[in-house]
Amino acid sequence: MINRVVLTGRLTKDPELKYTQSGVAVASFTVAVDRQYRNQAGEREADFINCVIWRKSAENFVNFTHKGSKVGIDGRLQTRNYENQQGQWVYVTEVVVDSFSLLDSKHDNQNDQQNYGNQGYQKQGGQQGGYQNQGNQQYNNGYQGNNQGQYQGNQQGYQGGQQNTGYMEPDPNQGRPINEDDLPF
């Protein structure tokens, strides 16, 4: 079975960082994702997707993002339920983030530093930081997420969990130029 979610959008408010009773960091946030089509008024509507991120990646996400930040999210869709204080069952659907990328441009980042007191974070050369979660963590109310982080600093986007085995596929042209007549398009 496949359960993958890939989103690009902007944060609707500052991410909220909390800690479980066992001291594990968890941040929740909402990403506004524009739809591809326009409504009758010619405006794009947006979907508001609830997300959660765990451990060190949660702390990094909170430190480097804020309301309006453009982010790329890779994760999985998860549902959970719990009984609230009034005795009613609450059902939650959210994206559990496995990795994220900071997508604001260098110009946007410089403006953020001026507006947010230069918190010491800088992207260089238009590159984006990526962050991956791996592992398993149980959250109260029956919630489980994959959450042990490994920082992928200053890389372009998501690495997808692939491992470099040292094997490179051989070049079928063995360094010769490609004949355009052989291309299927």
pLDDT tens per residue, range 60-95: 999 999 999 999 999 999 999 999 999 999 999 999
**Residue 19 lies inside a defined structural domain of this protein:** yes
Q: Is residue 67 part of a domain?
A: yes
DSSP states of the chain: ----EEEEEEESS--EEEE-TT--EEEEEEEEEEEEEE-TTSPEEEEEEEEEEEHHHHHHHHHH--TT-EEEEEEEEEEEEEE-TTS-EEEEEEEEEEEEEE---HHHHHHHHHHTT--S----TT---EEEEES-EEEGGGEEE--EEEE--S-SS--TT----S-----TTTTPPPPGGG---
Residue 52 located in a structural domain: yes
Which of the four pLDDT bands, split at 50, 70 and 90, describes residue 109?
Answer: low
Contacts 24+ apart (CB under 8 A), 43-49: 46/9, 48/12, 49/7, 49/9, 49/94, 49/95
Domain assignment of residue 145, yes or no: yes
Residue 182 lies in a domain: no
Confidence tier at 160 by pLDDT (50, 70, 90): very low
- Boundaries of domain holding 40: 5-176
Q: What is the reported pLDDT for 137? A: 40
pLDDT in tens, 30-40: 999 999 888 88
pLDDT of residue 172: 54
Asked if the structure places residue 181 within a domain, the reply is no
Summary mean pLDDT of the chain: 73
Which pLDDT score, from 0 to 100, does residue 74 have?
96
| Total number of domains in the chain | 1
Q: Is the pLDDT of residue 105 over 90?
A: no
Mean pLDDT of 3-29: 96
pLDDT class of 176 with cuts at 50, 70, 90:
low
The answer, yes or no, to whether residue 125 has pLDDT greater than 60, is: no
Q: CATH code at 171?
A: 2.40.50.140
First to last CA, the chain: 33
Domain annotation covers residue 183: no
Task: Specify whether the CB–CB gap between 100 and 12 falls below 8 A.
Answer: no
Tell me, yes or no, whether 148 lies in a domain.
yes
